[in-house]
Structure 1
Amino acid sequence: MKGKIIFLSVFFLLTTGAVSAQAKNAPKSIISTTALIRKYHDQKELSGMQKGELLELYIERIKVLVKTLPYIALVTKPGVTMADLGIPDDNEHKKSLENQAIGTTTFLDTTVDFQRKMMPYSDKANLIAAILFYEGTLKSLHEFNELNEM
């Protein structure tokens, strides 16, 4: 009985290691798959929200813009990989993409920390206007994508 438990434990560990090794070698998306907006809002809807809710929407839109805008000459949608674009999937390009992801994460961590400390002091109307502006920018990316496909 002990032998079976040991065997199953070792088998489980090896299987887990193999699956995680495959995930590391899987092609990474150029634009983070978390760079998505769940819902767009209008001014009336935003006006009915509390400032804390508005702050979260504001931060979410900043994150999506930061994760998307630097790449629009390559791609505008999450999930596209270097291989999809014909970029060699070699160590140099992988490292460059990884360094960019690290830099983006560092920047966003600092920015979100700043936003959470400073934006509660902003005027609610300004916060709403900024959210609508960011959403307009994100919608224009969809138009850009449509123009690019022609």
Structure 2
Amino acid sequence: MKAKYLVLSFFFFTAGTLFSQNKSVPKSIIKQNASILKFYDKKELQSMQKGQLLVLYVERTKTLIKTLPYIALASKPGVTMVDLGIPFTSENISLLDTQHDATDKFLDITTEFQKGMLPYSDKESLIKAILFYESVLKQMHELNEQE
């Protein structure tokens, strides 16, 4: 009977250790999913259907919202507080977690708005906005290369 309890205790301890979140791992200032896979030119965008443009517009909006507030710290995903010399304290971790949660809530609301309103937008206006957003994203990535 003791062996049974010992085996069960060991199993639960091991499972708890494996599946628990590791809070001591530094988190990225800019979330890893804050990037786009491809930049487009005007000709490519003009050949797309409006539905495809709406998806690109929303994706670029999300990327900008997840990146812009942090450009004084970093302009690309993957940079952590530790990389920047920011003390890895529970207070700073809490601040970053709160900021990420607030950003996620804001993005949920913004995306719902965009899904409801953007279908009424003009295709050419969408193309201009996508190209503008992409130019801003390119400039942000160039910040790392400037010294």
C-alpha separation between the residues in 2 aligned to 1:106 and 1:98?
Answer: 12
C-alpha separation between the residues in 1 aligned to 2:15 and 2:26?
Answer: 19
Counterpart for residue 43 of structure 1: 42
C-alpha separation between the residues in 2 aligned to 1:23 and 1:37?
Answer: 28
Most deviating of 13-22 and 136-145 = 13-22
TM-score using structure 1 length: 0.88
C-alpha separation between the residues in 2 aligned to 1:20 and 1:101?
Answer: 22
Which segments of structure 1 move beyond 6 Å, counting only runs of 4 or more?
none
Q: Does 1:130 align with 2:129?
A: yes
Q: Does 1:142 align with 2:141?
A: yes
Counterpart for residue 32 of structure 2: 33
Q: How does 1:1-150 map to 2 (within 5 A)?
A: 7=7, 11=11, 13-147=12-146, 150=147
Number of paired residues?
144
Give the secondary structure class of the aligned counterpart of 1:45: helix
Q: Report the Cα offset of residue 131 of structure 1.
A: 0.3
C-alpha separation between the residues in 2 aligned to 1:9 and 1:67?
Answer: 42
C-alpha separation between the residues in 1 aligned to 2:78 and 2:136?
Answer: 20
C-alpha separation between the residues in 2 aligned to 1:23 and 1:79?
Answer: 17
Which structure has greater helix proportion? 1
Most deviating of 21-30 and 62-71 = 21-30
C-alpha separation between the residues in 2 aligned to 1:66 and 1:130?
Answer: 15
What is the alpha-carbon root mean square deviation over aligned residues? Answer: 2.0
C-alpha separation between the residues in 2 aligned to 1:33 and 1:116?
Answer: 24
Give the secondary structure class of the aligned counterpart of 2:20: helix
TM-score using structure 2 length: 0.90
Identity %: 57
Q: Which amino acid aligns with 1:134?
A: Y
